[in-house]
Amino acid sequence: MTTKVTKAIFPVAGMGTRFLPATKSVPKEIMTLVDKPLVQYAIDEARAAGIKEFIFVTSRGKGALEDYFDCAPVLERTLEEKGKTELLDILKATNMDSGEIAYTRQHEALGLGHAVWCARRLIGDEPFAVMLPDDVIAAERPCLAQMIEAYEETGGSMVAAMEVSPEATKSYGVLDVKSVNGRVSDVAGMVEKPAPGTAPSNLAVIGRYVLAPTVLENLSTIKPGAGGELQLTDAIAQEIIDGRKVHGFQFEGKRYDCGSKAGYLQATVAFALSNPELRDEFAHYLDGVINHKMAAE
């Protein structure tokens, strides 16, 4: 029997420099996909997987993110008075209960592993999830719920995995796979951002993790890795060295890398096309743009 996973860490301390100048004053995580901030997609996914405690690792300049999770009584009252119940429901669906959300700071940008380590006292001695809001995953069954269901069978630690092209492996944590059974693979090792041509496979880690608490202990002892940063990948790989199990989980769904401009735009198009209110008008517009471009070529 595995212990129920009820806590999730959301590392949101990054400066989002790839989106400057927007991120000069807007935290990357509250940039919107159609009408919801990136972070809301991650929260909704976590909730659907049974997460009850949401732990944010923030940094200087993320005040707008904390404000986003506050109730908005004036706005709520105004919508109520105007009888705008639909909008009121949308707004209320984003409210967090008191005590459900916690913030801790990463004082120095020392890497993803360090960011997760900053939340260690809020996790204690139980398995936990990590969600990187940059990775937005559109799936019939939310990705973390798929993973937790698989994790309840396997125990150990589990990372979301996806096949990428050999040229792309240098941007990811990459799995050395021992054996594969359906969506679950047995992992023999993990390398963060391998040099081109040295990746052990083309199975890349995507930003959803279900981790044993021992990973937090590993984070206290590992040395800086790729890019001189403390890497979460290295702390998970340490589990394997110490004889504990790590699994890769090839989720069902489509992942968008919203940490890059191209991925963010692709996600915007995909989510607009799957939005009933926008679909027809937007598809018509895109058709026009594409036909116009083809005619010009």
Q: How far is the CB of 192 from ligand G1P (least distance, A)?
A: 5
Site for ligand G1P in 223-282 (CB under 6 A): 232-233, 259
- Residue 135 as a binder of ligand G1P (CB under 6 A): the answer is yes
- Residue 137 as a binder of ligand G1P (CB under 6 A): the answer is no
Site string for ligand G1P, 110-129 (x = CB under 6 A): --x-----------------
Site string for ligand G1P, 7-36 (x = CB under 6 A): ------------------------------
- Residue 173 as a binder of ligand G1P (CB under 6 A): the answer is yes
Q: How far is the CB of 249 from ligand G1P (least distance, A)?
A: 14
Q: How far is the CB of 248 from ligand G1P (least distance, A)?
A: 11
Q: Which residues pair with 211 in a beta bridge?
A: 128
Query: In which region does residue 170 sit, left (phi positive, over 0), alpha (psi from -120 to 50) or beta (all else)?
Result: alpha
Which residue's CB is nearer to ligand G1P, number 19 or number 79? 19
Site for ligand G1P in 200-229 (CB under 6 A): 204-207
Interior/surface letters 191-217, b for 16+ CB within 10 angstroms, e for the rest: bbbbeeeebbbbbbbbbbbbbbebbbb
Q: Which residue has the tokens 């608490």?
A: 213
Q: How far is the CB of 152 from ligand G1P (least distance, A)?
A: 23
In order of 80, 92, 93, 122, 153, the CA distances from 85 in angstroms are 7, 10, 12, 37, 42
Which residue's CB is nearer to ligand G1P, number 5 or number 175? 175
Which residue's CB is nearer to ligand G1P, number 46 or number 79? 46
Residue 107 token pair: 């004082």
Which residue's CB is nearer to ligand G1P, number 55 or number 205? 205
- Give me the residue whose beta carbon is nearest to ligand G1P: 173
The amino acid at residue 57 is: V
Backbone CA torsion sign across 238, 122, 143, 15: negative
Which residue's CB is nearer to ligand G1P, number 79 or number 172? 172
The amino acid at residue 39 is: V
Q: How far is the CB of 190 from ligand G1P (least distance, A)?
A: 8
Interior CA angle at 15 toward 13 and 21, to 5°?
150
Residue 264 token pair: 């963010």
Q: What is the Cβ-side half-sphere exposure of residue 72, based on CA atoms within 13 angstroms?
A: 18
CB of 179 within 8 A of CB of 154?
Answer: no
Which residue's CB is nearer to ligand G1P, number 227 or number 288? 227
Which residue's CB is nearer to ligand G1P, number 39 or number 205? 205
For residue 265, give every residue at least 6 positions away whose Cβ sits within 8 Å of its Cβ, in sequence order, or none: none
CB of 43 within 8 A of CB of 139?
Answer: no
The footprint of ligand G1P (CB under 6 A) covers 112, 132, 135, 172-173, 192, 204-207, 232-233, 259
